[in-house]
Structure 1
Amino acid sequence: MSLDAPRTESRPERVTAHEARQRLEHARSTRLTQLHALDEAERTADPLVAAQKAALERVLKEIDAAVTRVDDGTYGICRGCAKPVPAERLEILPYTRYCVACQRSAA
């Protein structure tokens, strides 16, 4: 298949709760593995390792918040504009709270 060929398969507009939970659990598992590896590797007070650990802990909190949104039915709805977050964005960043436009304006 050529890279220039248009994509014919359609993606669903919304992510199902089951798909969201699977993606979030995968993201959580990956981050916990990374955090565990940093814990085992940390033998000195390396500021870079500390920053990486803090970033992973922030993402884990975001993942937990996303699971809560799945439970209450607000997962996939942008917190900025209240429009659906595109499924492609949720596939890449399953714990996001914002669509791309609102994320840019929040940053």
Structure 2
Amino acid sequence: MTADLGRAPNLTKHDARQRLEHERNCRLAQLRAIEESAPHADKDLQEAQTAAIERVLKEIDAARERLADGPYGTCKSCRSFIPVERLEILPYVRFCVGCQQRVS
């Protein structure tokens, strides 16, 4: 049985790993679609989309490291637990909602 993350008994490490892998695969598919549309796409838009997706991929990789090291699911700023509902939607998120609003 996999351990629960923090106070989020409904999200196990296995669940988090699966969600992160799904997010990663979706972003890689988006990059492939952008590359395939290259001859017909607006170059500035394509570059902006690619940069945004690459940023998310870095966040996903960082979340995978946090999952392996243990601080996954804890806000990087206030150190409180990130609600499981937030992690289910954005499994790579680093901040709770309050801290995210302050850093944005």
TM norm structure 1? 0.85
Whole-angstrom CA distance in 1 between matches of 2:94 and 2:18: 17
Which residue of 1 is the match for residue 50 of structure 2? 53
Instruction: Choose from 73, 86, 91 the match for 2:88.
Output: 91
TM norm structure 2? 0.88
Question: In proportion to residue count, which structure has more helix?
Answer: 2
Instruction: Choose from 7, 19, 41 the match for 2:15.
Output: 19
Which residue of 2 is the match for residue 102 of structure 1? 99
Which residue of 1 is the match for residue 33 of structure 2? 37
Structure 1 segments, 4+ long, off by >2 Å, are none
Question: In proportion to residue count, which structure has more strand?
Answer: 2
Q: In structure 2, what residue type is equivalent to 1:82?
A: R
Which residue of 1 is the match for residue 3 of structure 2? none
Which residue of 2 is the match for residue 63 of structure 1? 60
RMSD of equivalent CA atoms: 1.4
Percentage of pairs with the same residue: 54
Structure 1: gaps spanning 5 or more residues: 1-11
Which residue of 2 is the match for residue 77 of structure 1? 74
Instruction: Quote the offset at 1:13 in angstroms.
Output: 4.0
